[in-house]
Copies of this chain bind each other. A is one copy, B any other.
């Protein structure tokens, strides 16, 4: 890491691999020796055509995604999909089941309720410190929606829920952080700005036969089938976003792929959770079986301790540790690109503050 770069614990947009950023720097003035920068290339030209093809192909290879699934790029964040999913798949007389694990699934539920009938099949509220163990499905859900990782509360499904209908997953904060389980999934959507790239673009991985069941009574850009039929090129896509995602996924591949990322991320998280379990001053929020390996949320024994820690962290170049405004406390977001060294430095500082030596 360059000496001047901070340790960035931001929950998203978040730290990206420095190699990716350096490649992007070069591509801004000249993409692959074309004499034109990545922001300036026509999306219909052969150069961007190659970028799009490479990014999709790397995603398929690294994610082990077969031809029964489409890989789509949507110019929008995950919040857009909160509405787009029910618009596409929740018809009159149908019910969609939702798993409520916190603020993000709450927003998805709210949007779905504008469109049709929603059944909350399980909840971990009001504490939201775990993923639900018991689910009560409706008679014949159209789909089952869950949020694989809860960025704000710091919980994560160890495995997808077993559901009686196609799963729809908001994977914004843990996509490609561990091997991808497509089993049972109709559609996975993810805002790119945590593990994949910049904000303003989302990745969708969806079964082609599930996409085909969607409503046709929507503007083309609101139908997933348009992206599948026109290879995400119905209109000008976020070309820079597609490029950066390709670079990030190439970096993941070079690291050894998703199995290696999963092991690394689990090991990084364990460093911090082990410390929290030992500490008398700091306490993790999530229950052990539901702990997120991406966002680790914790509280200090006192509000004062938290503020002391946050101020010291900023001084020492550890940035973005304040918890989400809705829940308070501290949060360490340690996505793929966040280095293990940074977690060690965080633990050292937490320990110093606890011992009153900082």
Give the residues in chain B near A114, CB-CB below 8 Å: 219
- Compute how far the CA of A83 lies from the CA of B83 in the bound complex, rounded to whole angstroms: 15
In the complex, the answer to whether B28 meets A4 with C-beta atoms within 8 Å is no
The answer on a CB contact under 8 Å between A29 and B25 is: yes
- Specify the chain B residue showing the minimal Cβ separation from A30: B4
Q: State in angstroms the CA–CA spacing of A354 and B201 once bound together.
A: 45
Which A85-144 residues sit within 8 Å CB-CB of chain B? 111, 114
- Give the CA-CA distance A244 to B40 in the complex, in Å: 12
A336 surroundings in chain B (CB, below 8 A) = none
Known: A6-B34, A221-B79, A237-B200. A21 touches B29 (CB 8 A): yes
Interface size class of A (residues with CB under 8 A): 35 or more
**Chain B contacts of A221 at CB under 8 A?**
76, 79-80, 83
Flag the segment in A7-15, A157-165, A262-270, A282-290 that touches B. Answer: A7-15
| B-contact 0/1 string along A188-214, CB 8 Å cutoff | 000101000111110000000000000
Alpha-carbon distance between A156 and B8 when the two chains are bound, in angstroms: 47
User: For A80, what are the chain B residues with a Cβ–Cβ distance below 8 Å?
Assistant: 75, 221, 235
Q: A36, B5: Cβ atoms under 8 Å?
A: yes
The interface stretch among A41-49, A60-68, A305-313, A343-351 is: A41-49
Residues of B near A8 (CB, < 8 A) are 36, 40
Cα separation A200 to B83 with both chains bound (whole Å): 19
Cβ distance A223 to chain B, nearest Cβ, rounded Å: 11
Q: Which residues of B contact A11 (CB under 8 A)?
A: 42
Q: Is the CB of A13 within 8 A of B76?
A: no
Residues from 230 to 262 in A contacting B, C-beta threshold 8 Å: 234-241, 244
Q: Write out the residue numbers on chain B whose beta carbons fall within 8 Å of the beta carbon of A37.
A: 16, 21
A42 touches B235 (CB 8 A): no
Contacts of A4 in B (CB 8 A): 30, 35
* Complex: A22 Cα to B79 Cα, angstroms: 32
CA of A319 to CA of B193, assembled, Å: 32
Task: Indicate whether A10 sits within 8 Å of B320 (C-beta atoms), given known contacts A39-B16, A240-B199.
Answer: no
A-B contact pairs, 23 of them (CB 8 A): A5-B35, A6-B35, A6-B36, A11-B42, A13-B39, A13-B40, A13-B42, A13-B43, A15-B40, A24-B39, A25-B25, A35-B319, A39-B199, A75-B75, A75-B80, A76-B221, A78-B235, A79-B236, A191-B236, A199-B236, A200-B200, A200-B201, A200-B238
Closest 3 CB pairs of A and B: A200-B238, A6-B35, A83-B219
